[in-house]
Structures are given as structure tokens and as C-alpha cells.
Structure 1
Amino acid sequence: MADSVAAHTGKRSPWSGGYSPFKVEYGKLMMWFFLLSDSFTFGALLISYGTTRFATMGWPDPNKVFNKYPLGGDGNSPLVFVSIMTFILIISSVTMVLAVQSGKEMNKKAVVKYLILTIIGGLAFLSCQAWEWTHLFHEGAWWGRNPFPNADGTLSSPNFTNFFFTITGFHGFHVFSGVIINIIMLIMTLCNTFEKRGHYLMIEKAGLYWHFVDLVWVFVFTCFYLI
């Protein structure tokens, strides 16, 4: 049917060649659908956290919970470490943008360079998160355990740590998945897969996923570390 439409109109049918009626490549459209569904999951978790947070009389002060960092953290530097983590993730998003742009320009060398930088940024973020989890565990924090008192000095419930480890762990899993995806993209680039296809469209799809992960972190950062 698509061929007959093309024959009568002289134009390529939007259903042929893997394109949707919205003139968007099907793979990219499906990625948007996936990210939309994933945003519902993160949204549900964060809304649940916010509802519990503001329905509770007392809550730990993030300035006292997240006040240390490796190699010299003295407990008087609130949010320094998580700010470094956030900066790393933002920079990795910039290098991902540059990788996508280089792909559009069919610049294989630049794509390889920026993908490697993005992967390094993702691994650095995961390493920081691993240190933070380890530090909190040694402080006595885990699912079902909350050693941090409320800001008013009263005894706190484990809701804070339950939500923290669940949501940041879920986000960390997404970052880890994004690193794996980018490694696969790097291998395919080095194998000239995209050069043979004549386009780097898969790099753009991977970029959508990576930017989504970065955007979600903004909300996670705000909910847990700032409020």
C-alpha cells in the first residue's frame, strides 16, 4: 500500500523506510515512548517521597546528612560532594551533545572522543555514588535503618533512608545502563557500523536516554539534597 501511495503521489510514504506518520524515525519515536513511561515511574517515586516528606512532622537535615566527602571531608562542607557529582553529570551531558552533533557531521573521530568522555563521566558519577552509599552504610544508614535525627532533634523514621536508597539506586541503575549503551555505541562506531549505514542516528537515540538520566538527577538532587 505504501508503494502504491508513493507511485500516485510521487512522494515517499511516511510509513515506508521506518518513519512514523509524525515524520519521526520509528526508533527515535519508540525511545521517546520509553522515556515517557520511565518518567512516570520516577514521577511516582518522587511524588510518593514528597507526600511522605511533607506529611511528616520531622525530617533529617540534608546539610548534616550529606556533609562529608573523600580525602579530607571534615563534616563542615554540606553538599560539596553531591555538587561535584552533579557537575560531572552535567559535563557528561555536554560531551554527549557534542557526540551527537559530530555524528550528524559524520565525524567519526570526534564521535569516538566525545563518547569516551561521556563514558568516563558516567563512570565517575557512579564511583562517587558508590562512595556515598558506602559512607552512609558505615554511618548506619540502610533500608530500614536511619541513624540521622530529625532537624529538630527528635528521633526519625527510616522513611528517609528507604526513599533515598531506592530512588538514588534506581537512578544509578539508569546511569549504569546509559554507560553500557554508550560503550556499545563506541564499539559500533569503532567498527564503522554507522559509517556503513551512512548515518549516526543511534548515537542520537542514546543521547536522548543520557539527557533524560541527567534531567531526572536534577529532580533527585532537589528533593533529597536541597529541600
Structure 2
Amino acid sequence: MSDESALLREPWVDFDRQREAAKFGIWVFLGSETLFFGALLLTYTICRVEHPEAFAAAGRETNIWYGTINTAILLTSSLFMAMASQAAESGARLRRLVLGCLLITAMLGLAFVILKGFEYKEDIDKHLVPGASFALPQAGAQLFYGLYWLVTGVHAIHLSIGMVLVSRLFWMFYQRKLRIRENPELEVTALYWHLVDIVWIILYPLIYLPGRAS
């Protein structure tokens, strides 16, 4: 069985058409994800305009070190994902580099999730979960943290899905069950991973910088 035949899926009879369809499909999906996160960001903007002082007070309670380190982790993971995509253009010649970059990308994603877990534990210990025992007196602060838990939780789910996709690609390439060069699954996964990172880059200043600029 040829490499292209191993990659070919129904109903496609031509690899190039399947590849273009995969790329088109992921762009449609990314567009829908952009609309979803855009709606959350619009909600955040409206609430922040209505409660600027409460959002500033709540923002100062976030742990900027966790947020900054996690931002650096995701930016580094995007670099290695881009390196994997570039190395894949050379095919089997740079197979080890592709495998190494995918493995590092997945491990960095895992580091992000673990660090986020420690941050969540700190937030819970500080009673920064909206509810009757919420620590901050401002009513708008609960809105901030409600959005904080929602957007960061949804982002963590997306990142976890990305880790599964990257790990699967690594394993399939390692076992030589998929060819590396011009692999649509690698291209689609890379686009998804970069979207998740871009979303976090937007969330970082909205979550961790309010109340700290002055």
C-alpha cells in the first residue's frame, strides 16, 4: 500500500482533493471557534465597561506569574509546532526532528495544563470562585471571575484536545503508519494548535493585566 493510499479516506479518490478539503474544513471550524470566543470576549468587554473598578480589583487578585509563565510555554509550543510543520516538508529526511518537535509541543501543552491546575487550586484557596463565600466585596468582581473560570476552562479543554491530536500524530509517525511530507492531518493539527495559542495571547492581558497598568 502506498503512502497516499494509507492516508486516503472515503469518499475521496484523490489525495490532493482530500488534502484541500481537510484544509478548507479546518478553516471553517476555526472560523466558528473564532465566533465562539469572540462572543465571550464581547461579553467580557461589556461587563468591564459597566464595572471598571471591580474588574481592576479582581484583575489584581490573579497570579500574574502563572499567567506569564503559561504564556511563554504556549508561545514556545507554537514555535516547536511550526518547526514540525516546516521540517515535515522535507519528509522522512527530517523525521527525527518532526518527532522531537511534536513530542516537545505535547509536553509543553501538558506543562501548561498542570500549571493551570496549580493556579486554579490557589484561586479556590483564596475563595475566588463566584458564590456565597466569594472573597471580594465588589459585585462586578464576581462577573470577572465568572468569565475567568469560563474562558480559561474552555481554553484548557481546547488545549487538551490539541494535546491528544499532537500525541496521536507523534505515535502514528513513530510507528511509520503515516507519511510525514504533505500530511493533511499534521497541517490541520498545526492550525488548530496555533488558534488555541492565539486565543490565550488575547486572554492574557484581559485576565492578568487589569488594575496593574497604573
TM-score normalized by the length of structure 2 = 0.83
1:213 correspondence with 2:192:
no
Structure 2 unaligned spans of 5+: 1-11
The aligned amino acid for 1:220 is: L
The runs of at least 4 aligned residues of structure 1 exceeding 6 Å deviation read none
In structure 1, list runs of 5 or more residues that go unmatched: 1-14, 68-78
- Decide which structure has the larger Cα Rg and report it: 1
Report how far residue 203 of structure 1 moved.
1.1
Show the counterpart of 1:148. Answer: 136
Q: 1:177 aligns with which of 158, 161, 176?
A: 161
Aligned to 1:17: 14
Distance in 1 (alpha carbons) for counterparts of 2:167 and 2:198: 21
| Structure-2 separation of matches of 1:108 and 1:114 | 10
The structure-2 alpha-carbon separation of the partners of 1:218 and 1:62, relative to structure 1 and needing over 3 Å to count, comes to farther
Post-superposition Cα deviations, 1:32-77, rounded to whole Å, max 9, x if no partner, equal 100100110000011101101111253143563124xxxxxxxxxx
Using the alignment, how far apart are the partners of 2:54 and 2:71 within structure 1? 23
Higher RCO, Cα 8 Å, sep 6+: 2
Q: Which of 66, 83, 87 is the equivalent residue of 1:98? A: 83
- Give the structure with the higher percent helix: 2
RMSD: 2.2
Structure 1 residue 110: Cα displacement? 0.9
Q: CA deviation at 1:201?
A: 2.8
Counterpart AA for 1:17? D
CA deviation after TM superposition for structure 1 residue 16, in Å: 7.0
Alpha carbons 1:62, 1:225 under 8 Å: kept: no
- Identical pairs, percent: 27
Q: Distance in 1 between matches of 2:100 and 2:50?
A: 48
Q: Displacement, 1:194?
A: 2.4
Tell me if structure 2 keeps the 8 A contact 1:148–1:156. Answer: no
